[in-house]
Amino acid sequence: MQALRSKKMANPQASKLHVVDVSQLMRLVEEVRAKTAKALDELVENLESASCTDVEQDFAGLVKASQQLLRVDDLELARALNVSRPTIGRWTRGDSAPHRLARPAVFEVLIKKARAQVRELRG
């Protein structure tokens, strides 16, 4: 115990408490939440647009971006869509894609996940 006290006295900086500005941290958290919600809103718009058009879109890019924003891995997405994990991998690499008539169902699952996260963030 005496050794600990003498170390503290030798280094007065060690005994000072580091003050954390909690209000600043909370502002940062709210800023991140708002930016994330906005990015998810934009994702929903892109997915809805892709779902409603016959124009060829970057399916692989949309799925990859969705996974990153939603923090969903291949296995979780595969389970949500009732497909295999390797299928999701082939989609995100651009090796294959579901038939164009099946893509809106994929987009709808991603849209629902995005909207749920937005509700949670803005809760």
Domain that holds residue 97: 2-122
Overall number of domains in the chain:
1
Burial class from Cβ neighbours inside 10 Å (0-12, 13-18, 19+) for residue 95 reads exposed
pLDDT 10s per residue in the chain (123 long)?
A: 555 555 555 665 656 677 788 999 999 999 999 999 999 999 999 999 999 987 777 999 999 999 999 999 999 999 999 999 999 999 999 999 999 999 999 999 999 999 999 999 998
Q: Is 94 left (phi over 0), alpha (psi -120 to 50) or beta?
A: left
